[in-house]
């Protein structure tokens, strides 16, 4: 048991984070990541239907050949709806789909517009999204390697990996389809998840230089306490805004806002449980940030 109470709680949090990482990997393995039409290809048909029913009620009314393929989503405005058909569906003609839906609903359905995403376009979007995530991660790693001592840099990278895995695990558990909005949310999470880690690392670097006689555990606890109020205020205000977007943004922004909410929450948590503990396990000490005296040759 460690001498400092905060250190003990930080390491308990580290164990909890490792359990959550294992659960997230298991969630992705069992449930898989559901890719949206942006990446798999298909047809999106915007229609107008004057009804008081919601999307779930309309979805239950679908039967026949469209039952297992057609997905109904809320549109941008009341009375507007989106009919989503995957690329491998039997029925692909928008007019035929609208006519069939109108018959099954016993309601007039007006075609507004239809857009088709081909499999090749979906594959290109998937590759570009992956390259964007990779480029952002490599850029951040390069920045950390230049700015901090390698132990602090690896701790921040471990925190980033932790946040990404937990976010993917939540997306898989909730069955949220990964579309371009979710990729944008992931890019934002990659940047934000390092925010608190870098703040704590900056503060710890200053403390290590100012208090070389204290142990690494005491120095880390002091850095965490010094930045804790700032972390809570920043995370709290950010989560409040994202929470409003999550509740009021509608289905179109649900994946993006949920990704951001999970990323900010895990990023705040990991800055204390991952970033501030991994560097201790790697052997960081105050000596690594002490100025070494210049060696001057003795002159006769």
| Residue 74's CATH number | 3.30.70.3220
pLDDT attached to residue 75: 76
DSSP state of 298: P
Same domain, 141 and 270: yes
Half-sphere exposure of 268 (CA within 13 A, CB side): 18
**72 lies in which domain range?**
42-117
For residue 112, which phi and psi values (nearest 5 degrees)?
-95, -55
181: left (phi over 0), alpha (psi -120 to 50) or beta: alpha
Q: How many domains does the chain have?
A: 2
pLDDT at 24: 92
Question: 298 in a domain, yes or no?
Answer: no
Q: What residue ranges of the chain have pLDDT lower than 70?
A: 1-5, 117-126, 129, 286, 288-300
Structural domain contains residue 159: yes
Residue 297 burial (CB count, 10 A): 4
- Clarify whether residues 181 and 265 are in a common domain: yes
Residue 213 inside a domain? The answer is: yes
**Residue 125's domain is classified under what CATH number?**
1.20.1640.10
The 10 Å CB-count burial string (b at 16+, else e) for 261-289 is bbbbbbbbbbbbbbbbbbbbeeebebeeb
Residues 75, 46 within the same domain: yes
Q: Which residue has the tokens 């069939």?
A: 100
Q: What six digits make up the tokens of 140?
A: 């951040």
In-domain check, residue 140: yes
- Look up the pTM and report it: 0.75
pLDDT score for 199? 80
pLDDT on residue 122: 57
192 and 96 together in one domain: no
């Amino acid at each position: 048991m460690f001498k400092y109470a905060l250190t003990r709680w930080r390491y308990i949090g580290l164990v909890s984070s490792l359990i959550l990482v294992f659960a997230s990997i298991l969630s992705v393995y069992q449930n898989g990541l559901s890719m949206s039409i942006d990446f798999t290809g298909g047809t999106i048909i915007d229609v107008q239907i004057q009804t008081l029913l919601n999307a779930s009620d309309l979805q239950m009314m679908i039967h026949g050949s469209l039952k297992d393929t057609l997905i109904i989503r809320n549109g941008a405005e009341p009375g507007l709806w989106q009919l989503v058909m995957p690329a491998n569906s039997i029925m692909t003609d928008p007019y035929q789909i609208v006519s069939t839906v109108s018959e099954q609903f016993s309601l007039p359905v007006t075609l507004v517009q239809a857009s088709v995403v081909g499999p090749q376009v979906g594959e290109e979007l998937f590759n570009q999204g992956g390259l964007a995530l990779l480029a952002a991660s490599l850029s951040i790693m390069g920045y950390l390697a230049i700015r901090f001592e390698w132990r602090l840099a690896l701790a921040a990278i471990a925190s980033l990996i932790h946040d990404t895995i937990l976010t993917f695990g939540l997306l898989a558990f909730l069955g949220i389809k990964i579309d371009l909005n979710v990729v944008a949310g992931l890019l934002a999470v990659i940047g934000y998840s390092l925010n608190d880690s870098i703040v704590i690392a900056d503060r710890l670097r200053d403390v290590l230089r100012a208090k070389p006689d204290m142990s690494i555990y005491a120095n880390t606890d002091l850095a965490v306490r010094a930045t804790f109020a700032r972390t809570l205020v920043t995370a709290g205000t950010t989560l409040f805004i994202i929470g409003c977007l999550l509740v009021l943004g509608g289905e179109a922004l649900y994946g993006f806002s949920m990704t951001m909410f999970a990323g900010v929450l895990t990023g705040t948590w990991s800055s204390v449980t991952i970033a501030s503990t991994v560097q201790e396990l790697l052997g960081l000490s105050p000596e690594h940030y002490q100025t070494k005296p210049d060696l001057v040759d003795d002159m006769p």
